[in-house]
Structure 1
Amino acid sequence: MINGGGSPTSVESGGGGDDYDPHIHRQLEHPTTNNETLIHLLKGSLGTGILAMPQAFFNAGLFVGAICTVIIGFICTYCLHILVADHYWTELDVRLWSLILLLPLIAINMIRNLKLLAPFSQLANVITFIGIAIVMYYVFSDIPSMTTREYAGELRNFSLFFGTTLFALEAVGVIIALENNMQTPKSFGGYCGVLNKGMVVIVILYVFVGFFGYIKYGSECLGSITLNLPKDEKLAQSVNVIFALAIFITYALQCYVPVEIIWTTYMKKKYEHSEHKLLYEYIMRICVVIVTFLLAVAIPRLGLFISLFGALCLSALGIAFPAIIEICVLWPDQLGPLNYVLWKDILLILFGIVGLVVGTGTALMDIIVSFQ
C-alpha cells in the first residue's frame, strides 16, 4: 500500500493491532507538504503576542524570563506532540475600519484548503519578520547595559509573565488541522519533525525579542513594544501597518478550524447530495466572517474579552486535555515503569490549571480596570 508521502507501506490484513497505521487511510484532496505545514505552524504561533514579550520579561527579569520562556515553550511543544503526535492617517472610528475590512476578509476566507493558504502564510511570515527586524532596529539603537536591568523579577509579577508567555506561544487551535492535512503526517512529530523545527524557531524569537526589548525599555515596557517606538517616525509607525497586514492575511488560517468544524459536523451531511453543496459552504463561510465582524463592532474592548475566553480555554485545551487524553489512551497497563507517564501527566494537568486560573484572573482584572 502507498501512504500519503508516496512510499510503500505494508499493513497487516485486518487493519488492527500494533501494525495499524491510521495515517495511510487518510483521503486528502489537497495534502500539504512538510514545508507548507511548517509555514502554517510558524504563522499560527508567531503572532503579535511576541510584541508583548519585553513587558513579560520586565515582570520576570532577564534570566528568569529567558529560562522560563524556553521551559514554557518546551511544555507547549510536548503537549502538542501528545495531542497529535492611526498616526499618519486620517483618524477613523474602529467600526468604520471593521466595515472597510469586511469584504477583504470574506474574500480571503473563501480559500477552502490549507495548501492554497500556504503562500498567504508564507507572505504573512515574511511580513512579520520584517516587522520584527524594524522593531529590533530601534531596540538596538543606543541600548543600555544589561546590568541596568533586573535578572529576576518580583514573585508576584511572575503570574503575569506566565500568562503572557503561555498564551503567546500556544497554537493548539491549528495544530491538529495542520497535521491532518499533511501529505506525510509522520513527518510532523519526531525529534527533527516539523513541529519541533517550527517551535524551536518560535521560542528563540520570543526569547530574543523579550530579552533585548526589556533591556532597551526596562520598566517603561508597554503592553506591545510597538507602543514604545517613536511616534514621529514613519518607519517606526509602519510596524503597526505591517503586523495588521500579517494578521489580516492569517485570518483564513485561524478561521480554518472553526469553519471545518461547523461544516463537517453540522452541515456537510445535510447538503452532501445537493447540487448546490459548494454554494452552501461559501454562504456558511461568509456568515462566519459576518458574525466575527458583528462581535468586533458590538462588544467594547473586544481584545480583553478575547483574552478572557482564551485564558478560560487555552490552558485546558493546550496542556491539560492532551495530558488527560494520554492517560485515557495508555490506562491502565501502558503507563511505563512506576507509572511515570501518569505522574508526568498529572503535573501537566496541574500546570494547565494554574495557567487557567492565572490567565483568567489577569484578564478579569484588566477588564475591570478598563471599565473604571
Structure 2
Amino acid sequence: MLKTSLLGRDYSELNELNSSDNRSKSPSESSSNITPENVHPAGEAELSMMQTLIHLLKCNIGTGLLGLPLAIKNAGLLVGPISLLAIGILTVHCMVILLNCAHHLSQRLQKTFVNYGEATMYSLETCPNTWLRTHSVWGRYIVSFLLIITQLGFCSVYFMFMADNLQQIVEEAHVTSSTCQSRKILVLTPNLDIRFYMLTILPFLILLVFIQNLKVLSFFSTLANITTLGSTVLIFHYILQGIPFPSNLPLMANWKTFLLFFGTAIFTFEGIGMVLPLKNQMKNPQHFTSVLYLGMSLVIILYICLGTLGYMKFGSDTQVSITLNLPNCWLYQSVKLMYSIGIFFTYALQFHVPAEIIIPFAISQVSENWALSVDLSVRTGLVCLTCVSAILIPRLDLVISLVGSVSSSALALIIPPLLEIITFYSEDMDCVTIAKDIVISILGLLGCIFGTYQALYELTQPINHSMANSTGVYA
C-alpha cells in the first residue's frame, strides 16, 4: 500500500522505482533515476495548453525584464534591439533543439521522458569517442549542476529585487505624493538595512516552496501573470507619455558594456530549464512546440518594446531597474508592489527545477519515514542559501549579467547545439546543420567567457551610487 505525502509526492513509489531500477540497470542508467521527472507522481494532474502557456510566460518574464532598458543602453539604440531579437531567436531555436533531442532519445531508449541531464548523458553514450562514452554520466552531472546554479541564481536575484522594492516603498513613503511628476534625485538615509527586508520575506518564501505540484503552482503563476501584466501596463503607460526624439542617443555602445548587455539578455530568457518539465507535465505534449513558439514570440516582442522604449524615454538617466525611473507617486509605487508580488510567486516556479534535481537524491539516502522531513529540510536550506547569496552580493545589475554569462549561456546556447550534433551525427547530419550548431556554440562560449570577465571586473570596482540599485539614492 502506497502512502502519499502532504506535499503530493509519493515517496514509497519513488523509492521502490529507484531500488528496482538500480538492481536491473547499469550504473549510469540507475544514477539517472535520482530525478523523478521520468514519472508522474500518483494523482498529479496534467497541464492544459493554457496552463502550460501561463507557466512558460511566467518563467521567462522576471526581473530581467525591468533591466532591459539599461541593457539596450549598454548595447546602443540600434545594436541593442537587433541583438536582443537575434539572441531571442537563437534561444528559442536551442529550446526546440533540446526538445527534438530529448524526444529522439526517449524513442530510441523506449522511455516515456528524458530530462535535460539525461538527454546529455544518453547522447554521449552513443557518440563515437570512447572517452566520452565512458564518462557519459558526467554530462548529466554537468547539466544538473548548471541548472542548479542558474535557477538558484535566478532565485537569489528575485530575493534582491523583492527586498529592494519593499525597501523603496517603505523608505520613500513619507516623500511619496498623489501627484505623479518626474522623479527627482534625493539622498535618503535608510531606516532599516536591506537585509532586514530579505529576512522578512524569507519565511513566506519557505512556505511557498513547500508546494511542488505544477498544477497547483499554475494558480500562483496566474496570479503572478496578472500582477506582472498590471505593472507592465502602468510602466508602458508612463513611457509612452511623450517619448523624446532620440537624436543624442548612441546607436552603438562600446564593446565592454555590450558584454554586460549579453549577460543581461541571456539572463532575461530564463526559461530553458523549465522546457522539458513543462512538456512532461502536459496533457497533450505533442502540442508543446506550438505553445513554445507562441509564448516565446510574445516574450521577445515584449522585451524589445520595453527595452527600446524605456531607453528612448529616459536616455542617459536609465537606471538598473526601470522602476527607479518612474515618478514617485502612489500610482507608480504600486508598480513595484505588483511586480514584486509577481516575482514572489515566480520564485516557486524557478525553484522547482533545482528542487527536483536535489531532493530525490536526498530522500533516496534515507528511509521512507524520514522522506518528508528531508524534503522539507532541503527546501528550507535551499531557500536560505539564496537569501544568504542575495545578502552577500550588493549589485543587482551585475549579478543578473554574471548569472546570465556563466550558466545561462551554457544551458541556452552552448550545450543544445552540441547535443544535437552528438545525438544525430550517426544519422547522416548535413554539413549546414553541423556548421550552424558549431557557430551557435562558439558564439555562446565567447559570450560566456568575455561576459563573465566583464561582470566580475565590474563587481570588483567601487560601487557607483548613481547606478547602484539602492533605495537610499532615488526618491
Q: TM-score range by the shorter chain?
A: 0.7 to 0.9
Q: In 1, distance between residues paired with 2:400 and 2:269?
A: 16
Q: Which residue among 273, 285, 290 is the counterpart of 1:185?
A: 285
Describe the shift of the 1:163–1:309 C-alpha distance in structure 2 as closer, same or farther (beyond 3 A).
Answer: closer
> How many positions carry a matched residue from both structures?
338
Whether contact under 8 Å (1:76, 1:170) holds in the other structure is no
Q: Which residue among 41, 45, 50 is the counterpart of 2:56?
A: 41
Q: In 2, distance between residues paired with 1:295 and 1:55?
A: 23
Q: In 1, distance between residues paired with 2:340 and 2:40?
A: 36
Q: In 2, distance between residues paired with 1:306 and 1:203?
A: 18
Is residue 2:450 matched to residue 1:358?
A: yes
Q: SS state of the match for residue 112, structure 1?
A: coil
Instruction: Report the Cα offset of residue 371 of structure 1.
Output: 5.6
Instruction: Report the Cα offset of residue 309 of structure 1.
Output: 4.0
Equivalences for residues 332-351 of structure 1 within 5 A: 332-336=426-430, 339-351=431-443
Aligned Cα root-mean-square deviation (Å): 2.2
Whether contact under 8 Å (1:163, 1:358) holds in the other structure is no
Q: Which residue among 334, 338, 348 is the counterpart of 1:252?
A: 348
- Percent identity reads 36
Q: In 2, distance between residues paired with 1:310 and 1:56?
A: 12
Q: Which residue among 135, 153, 157 is the counterpart of 2:252?
A: 153
Q: In 2, distance between residues paired with 1:327 and 1:284?
A: 36
Is residue 2:314 matched to residue 1:209?
A: no
Instruction: Report the Cα offset of residue 97 of structure 1.
Output: 1.2
Q: Which residue among 226, 250, 269 is the counterpart of 2:364?
A: 269
Q: In 1, distance between residues paired with 2:341 and 2:415?
A: 33
Could you give the per-residue CA deviations for residues 177-196 of structure 1, whole angstroms, max 9, x where no partner exists?
Answer: 2222222222112xxx1111
Q: Which amino acid aligns with 1:112?
A: Q
Instruction: Report the Cα offset of residue 333 of structure 1.
Output: 3.5
Q: In 2, distance between residues paired with 1:135 and 1:235?
A: 10
Could you give the per-residue CA deviations for residues 258-277 of structure 1, whole angstroms, max 9, x where no partner exists?
Answer: 1110122x224334x62453
Q: SS state of the match for residue 173, structure 1?
A: helix
Q: Which residue among 349, 368, 372 is the counterpart of 2:460?
A: 368
Higher relative contact order structure (alpha carbons within 8 Å, sequence separation ≥ 6): 2
Q: In 2, distance between residues paired with 1:148 and 1:309?
A: 32
Q: In 2, distance between residues paired with 1:196 and 1:283?
A: 38
TM-score, structure 2 normalization: 0.66
Instruction: Report the Cα offset of residue 278 of structure 1.
Output: 3.0
Could you give the per-residue CA deviations for residues 84-138 of structure 1, whole angstroms, max 9, x where no partner exists?
Answer: 2434425422221122112211111111211110011111111111111111122
What is residue 219 of structure 2 aligned with on the other side?
A: 119
Q: Which amino acid aligns with 2:354?
A: P
Q: Which residue among 57, 65, 84 is the counterpart of 1:50?
A: 65
Structure 1: give runs of 5+ residues left out of the alignment.
1-24
Q: In 2, distance between residues paired with 1:366 and 1:41?
A: 32
Is residue 2:162 matched to residue 1:62?
A: no
Equivalences for residues 159-178 of structure 1 within 5 A: 159-178=259-278
Instruction: Report the Cα offset of residue 240 of structure 1.
Output: 2.0
